[in-house]
Amino acid sequence: MAGPIHIRTLRGDDLAVVLAVWNRTLTRNPISEDRFVRIVLGDPDYRPGDDSGFLVATHDDEPIGFVRAIIRHWPNDRLGMEPDDGWIPYFAVDPAHQQSGVGSLLLRSAMDFFRTHVRKRVWVCGTTTSAPGSIMPGVDEEAYPAARPLLEEHGFVVDQYGFSMARSIVDFDVEEHRRAAWESGPDIAVSTLAPDRVDDFLTFVADALPGAWCLAGRAKVQSGRLHEILIATLDGRIVGYCQWDGEHFGPFGVSPAARNRKVGAKMFTEAVQRIREADGRTVWFNWADENAKRFYDRFGLEVTRRFAILRKDIG
> What pLDDT, on a 0 to 100 scale, did the predictor assign at position 260?
82
Per-residue pLDDT, averaged over 241-268, amounts to: 93
- Predicted TM-score (pTM) of the model is 0.92
> What pLDDT, on a 0 to 100 scale, did the predictor assign at position 1?
57
For the chain, domain boundaries: 5-160+309-313, 171-280
Are the C-beta atoms of residues 230 and 191 closer than 8 Å to each other? yes
Q: Of the candidates 84, 65, 66, 83, which has an alpha carbon nearest to the alpha carbon of residue 75? A: 83
Kindly list the distances between the CA atom of residue 275 and the CA atoms of 52, 144, 175, 234, 288, in Å, as whole numbers in the listed order. Answer: 40, 33, 15, 24, 19
Q: How confident is the model at residue 259 (pLDDT cuts 50, 70, 90)?
A: confident
Mean pLDDT of the chain: 95
> What pLDDT, on a 0 to 100 scale, did the predictor assign at position 298?
95
**Among 126-130, 225-229, 243-247, the least confident range:** 126-130
Per-residue pLDDT, averaged over 159-182, amounts to: 96
Q: For 15-33, what is each residue's pLDDT tens digit?
A: 999 999 999 999 999 999 9
For the cut 80, the answer to whether the pLDDT of residue 236 exceeds it is yes
Q: Of the candidates 41, 47, 59, 56, which has an alpha carbon nearest to the alpha carbon of residue 91? A: 56
Per-residue pLDDT, averaged over 107-130, amounts to: 96
For the cut 90, the answer to whether the pLDDT of residue 237 exceeds it is yes
Q: How confident is the model at residue 314 (pLDDT cuts 50, 70, 90)?
A: very high
Are the C-beta atoms of residues 265 and 178 closer than 8 Å to each other? no
Per-residue pLDDT, averaged over 119-126, amounts to: 97
Task: Choose which CATH entry (1.25.40.420, 1.10.10.10, 3.40.630.30, 3.40.50.720) describes domain 5-160+309-313.
Answer: 3.40.630.30
For the cut 90, the answer to whether the pLDDT of residue 3 exceeds it is no
Q: For 262-310, what is each residue's pLDDT tens digit?
A: 999 999 999 999 999 999 999 999 999 999 999 999 999 999 999 999 9
Domain 5-160+309-313 matches domain 171-280 at the CATH topology level: yes
> What pLDDT, on a 0 to 100 scale, did the predictor assign at position 40?
96
Report DSSP letters for the chain, one per residue: --S-EEEEE--GGGHHHHHHHHHHH-TTS---HHHHIIIIIT-TT---STTS-EEEEEETTEEEEEEE-B--SS--GGGTT-TTEEE---EEE-GGGTTSSHHHHHHHHHHHHHHHTT-SEEEES-BTTB-TT-SSSSEETTT-TTHHHHHHHTT-EEEEEEEEEEEE-TT--HHHHHHHHTTS-TTEEEEEPPGGGHHHHHHHHHHHSTTHHHHHHHHHHHHT-GGGEEEEEETTEEEEEEEEETTEEEEEEE-GGGTTS-HHHHHHHHHHHHHHHTT--EEEEEEE-HHHHHHHHTTT-EEEEEEEEEEEE--
For the cut 90, the answer to whether the pLDDT of residue 258 exceeds it is no
> What pLDDT, on a 0 to 100 scale, did the predictor assign at position 78?
87
Per-residue pLDDT, averaged over 65-80, amounts to: 95
> What pLDDT, on a 0 to 100 scale, did the predictor assign at position 221?
97
For the cut 60, the answer to whether the pLDDT of residue 160 exceeds it is yes
For the cut 70, the answer to whether the pLDDT of residue 208 exceeds it is yes
For the cut 90, the answer to whether the pLDDT of residue 37 exceeds it is yes
Superfamily of domain 171-280: Gcn5-related N-acetyltransferase (GNAT) (3.40.630.30)
